Amino acid sequence: IDAFAKVPLAPPDSIFKLTAAFKQDTNPNKVNLGVGAYRDDTGKPWILPSVKKVKADYLSNENIDHEYLPILGLPEYTSAAAKLILGDNSAAISEKRVVSAQTISGTGANHSAGAFLSKHYDFAAFGIKKQIYVSSPTWANHHSIFSNVGLEPVNYPYYDKNTIGLDFDGLMKALNEAPKGSIWLLHACAHNPTGVDPTAEQWKQIADVFAQRQLFAFFDCAYQGFASGDLNKDAAAVRHFVDKQIPLLICQSFAKNAGLYGERTGALHFIGKDADETERLRTQYSVFQRAEISNPPAFGARLVSSLLNEPTNFNQWEADIKTMASRIIKMREVLYDQLNNQLKTPSPNGNGWGHITSQIGMFSFTGLNAEQCQKLIDKHHIYLTANGRISMAGLNSSNVEYVAKSIDDVIK
């Protein structure tokens, strides 16, 4: 038999393709601005001191065995993770309305949430299609993840290329026309790929429409703490929605904020509206998770549990997060100063380069077009995706001026 005869060749993932091209480039000035992982000021991956410590503790602890975790994961990890995103004084936690499950990092949380909604969400009751609304643009993998589990992604307006900022009017209009019960994916903070977030006031207005029109919020939170350097500030939008009793779930990742990319440490939290719904979600999600992964991996969860539950580790982790966020914020300031003030580079929308510093998190939408991006790669050995997104983590004090001059060159 030739069972896979009709399987077409798939294109390579664009980010991995970019990384491969970067690796092959022998130019000493080459810069990788495609990478979605933190780099220190020397361009190297950074193992957080707090993580080094909890890993050493783990390795020296002879009492830890290698048994399976419970189906929903390490309880002291999932409960601390819930507290981290929902806050110490969360009413949802004290009322025991939170169902938390450990997932295969943020991707696994998105997948599991999507698959669970696809199976159990009552689309028929609202007379709506099996769809999820996603920002235009969004993390490209959202499209693949939801399509894979039978949830059709539908774009909603988000990014305005004229202002290189938020299309707030477009977003509000779309929300105001949304069908009751529809599911809307929101980036909790540090929107990927644009770096453009609503302001606190805009979040309030967005939440009001969710409440009025009875929409379901699907929060993807991959960068808590990484955006502003403050774990609570970056959780503010989620907490506001929870306070307003908007039905929601949260996908959480510790890849970026703990630098645990490979350990695949994440969580999915549902907030039940009452004890009955919470129990039905908990039991049914357990059945679902058993079939998907049986039980999640232990190592990363044990490390993060130590980070979150032991005050001295937590303090060090908070300081480490500040180190990463501050370096990124500093790079934004330097790049802005170079382009706006030193080189006086014309900005893509003619309004200066303020978007570089007003955007937050790991990524920035520069506003560069595909042709300019290709020229940066070909002529200057600076690797970035064709949509003009750059990873701020790829900039450091040795290459930021070179990058600014190169951007200046492809624009002028």
Two tokens, residue 11: 């294109």
State whether residue 172 is helix, strand or coil. helix
How many C-beta atoms surround the C-beta of residue 379 within 10 A? 11
Buried-exposed string 345-367: b where 16+ CB fall within 10 A, e elsewhere: bebbeeebbebbebbbbbbbbbb
To the query of whether residue 256 is one of the catalytic residues in this protein, the response is yes
Contacts of 343 (CB under 8 A, 6+ apart): 404, 405, 408
**Beta-strand relationship, 216-221 and 248-253:** parallel
Based on CB atoms, which residue is closest to ligand PLP, 148 or 245? 148
Q: Which of 192, 257, 366, 406 binds ligand PLP (CB under 6 A)?
A: 192
Task: Tell the smallest beta-carbon distance from residue 361 to ligand PLP (Å).
Answer: 9
Based on CB atoms, which residue is closest to ligand PLP, 126 or 261? 261
Under the binding rule (CB under 6 A), the answer on residue 359 touching ligand PLP is no
State whether residue 302 is helix, strand or coil. helix
Under the binding rule (CB under 6 A), the answer on residue 132 touching ligand PLP is no
Based on CB atoms, which residue is closest to ligand PLP, 193 or 229? 193
State whether residue 268 is helix, strand or coil. strand
Choice among 139, 184, 203, 317 that is catalytic = 139
Under the binding rule (CB under 6 A), the answer on residue 220 touching ligand PLP is yes
Based on CB atoms, which residue is closest to ligand PLP, 128 or 154? 154
Cross-strand bridge partners of residue 269: 100, 250
Q: Which of 85, 93, 183, 255 binds ligand PLP (CB under 6 A)?
A: 255
Closest residue to ligand PLP, based on beta-carbon distance = 106
Under the binding rule (CB under 6 A), the answer on residue 222 touching ligand PLP is yes
To the query of whether residue 139 is one of the catalytic residues in this protein, the response is yes
Alpha helix (H) ranges present in 337-396? 354-358, 370-380
Based on CB atoms, which residue is closest to ligand PLP, 145 or 376? 145
CA angle 16, 349, 156 (to 5 degrees): 60
Alpha helix (H) ranges present in 219-353? 231-234, 236-243, 275-293, 299-309, 311-336
To the query of whether residue 52 is one of the catalytic residues in this protein, the response is no
Burial class from Cβ neighbours inside 10 Å (0-12, 13-18, 19+) for residue 37 reads middle
State whether residue 186 is helix, strand or coil. strand
Window 23 to 42, contacts with ligand PLP (CB under 6 A): 36
Under the binding rule (CB under 6 A), the answer on residue 106 touching ligand PLP is yes
Task: Tell the smallest beta-carbon distance from residue 139 to ligand PLP (Å).
Answer: 4
Under the binding rule (CB under 6 A), the answer on residue 73 touching ligand PLP is no
Q: Which of 32, 50, 105, 359 binds ligand PLP (CB under 6 A)?
A: 105
Under the binding rule (CB under 6 A), the answer on residue 234 touching ligand PLP is no
Which of the stretches 102-110, 153-161, 291-299, 390-398 binds ligand PLP when contact is defined by CB under 6 A? 102-110
Task: Tell the smallest beta-carbon distance from residue 22 to ligand PLP (Å).
Answer: 18
Window 137 to 166, contacts with ligand PLP (CB under 6 A): 139
**Closest to 31 measured CA to CA, from 409, 411, 408, 400:** 400
| Residues of the shown chain interacting with ligand PLP in the complex, contacts defined by CB under 6 A | 36, 105-107, 110, 139, 187, 192, 220, 222, 253, 255, 261, 266
Which residues belong to the active site? Answer: 139, 220, 256
